[in-house]
Amino acid sequence: MNLLTSLIAVLILTLLALGVSSSAGLTYLLTVVIPYAAFAVFIVGFVYRIVQWAKAPVPFRIPTTCGQEKSLPWIKREALDNPSCLCGVIGRMALEVLLFRSLFRNTTVSMQQKRPIYDSAKWLWFFGLLFHWSLLIIVIRHLRFFIEPIAPWINGLSSVDGFFQSGIPTLYLSDAAVLAGLTFLFLRRVVSPRLRYISIFTDYFSLLLILGAVTTGLLMRHFFPVDLLQVKNLAMGWVTFSPVRAEGVGTLFYIHLCFVFTLMIWFPMSKLMHMGGVFLSPTRNLANNNRMKRHINPWNAPVKVHTYEEYEDDFRDKMKLAGLPVDKE
């Protein structure tokens, strides 16, 4: 049901884009008004979520550890798996963000002869890494539409990405990689009964939105060419706050824009916010130095205590009558 609902939602977006492409007024709305609204929602929503997470109290040191912490000098420690200082935390976060190190260590479990058997699960790590890095390269390559003159390093990245020069126009490696990664992540949720059971509407909808944007982009590049000069003028108009209406770009381009703007609006309220949230995860961004430093909860409310000395002063006479020992006569 969640998958079907997501498919229907994406289909509705596609039909809306088709309707927009046939109306001059709606085309103006999509290419002039909605871009600024979508960008504003994305920025404000992203900042709001980050601020809310940053304000959440973390009174305890709860880093996830996978190795020996810093102890006696002759005991070998794991500086990255169990960091004890800021440098270790930075190294751990860099490996986590850039290489998905914790996902690389992920395992799968199966029951064999009534015993749990643990095995390696590197496919998820591989396709996850493939998808995220490819999507990042694609976003960077799109910067050539928003700046003039185009930075040399963007052209250099595009040359490396199209190193094999396969097809006309050139098929970028990142295009094929992001499609492969998305296909794996989507089929993984559909095929696996356990993942299908815990998957909700937002999981499918996010994947289908990205898949729709990627697919329409590939179709425009290789099968239904779009006037890149018009696209460039449209993007530069957004950047310079002098938007213009695109002419002769085709229906597929409007569908692509509809997916992209919906994704920008959807991003801050979805699980895609793990892009920013990973930096605020206390299981990753805290050093495990509990044995070296005492951490006191700064949010503890003051509590009025009744010490034993005060207790004895209040009840000394009654304690003596009861035959109980007292510290002071």
Q: pLDDT tens digits, residue range 56-100?
A: 888 788 888 888 888 888 999 888 889 999 999 999 999 999 999
List, in order, residues 6 or more apart from 146 with CB less than 8 Å away.
Answer: 235, 236, 238, 239
pLDDT of 109: 76
Residue 50 pLDDT > 90, yes or no? yes
pTM of the model: 0.85
131 pLDDT more than 80: yes
| pLDDT of the residue at 46 | 96
Residue 110 has pLDDT above 80, yes or no: no
Distance CA 131, CA 175 (A): 10
Is the per-residue pLDDT at 180 higher than 90?
Answer: yes
What is the model's pLDDT at position 39? Answer: 96
Is residue 323 scored above 90 in pLDDT?
no
Percent of the chain whose pLDDT exceeds 70? 100
**pLDDT at residue 297 is higher than 80:** no
pLDDT digits (tens, 9 = 90+) for 216-246: 999 999 888 898 889 999 999 999 998 888 7
Closest of 181, 95, 180 to residue 132, by C-alpha = 181
What does the chain come to in residues?
329
Kindly tell me if the per-residue pLDDT of 117 is higher than 80: no
Mean pLDDT value of segment 188-214: 92
Cross-strand bridge partners of residue 110 = 117
CATH topology (fold) of 2-225+252-295: Fumarate Reductase Cytochrome B subunit (1.20.950)
In degrees and rounded to multiples of 5, residue 250 shows phi and psi of 95, 160
Place of tokens 């003051």: 302
What are the tokens at 72? 């006696």
pLDDT per residue over 269-296, tens digit each? 999 999 999 999 999 999 998 888 888 7
- Which residue in 82, 80, 106, 105 sits closest to 94, CA to CA? 80
pLDDT in tens, 151-174: 899 989 988 988 877 777 888 999
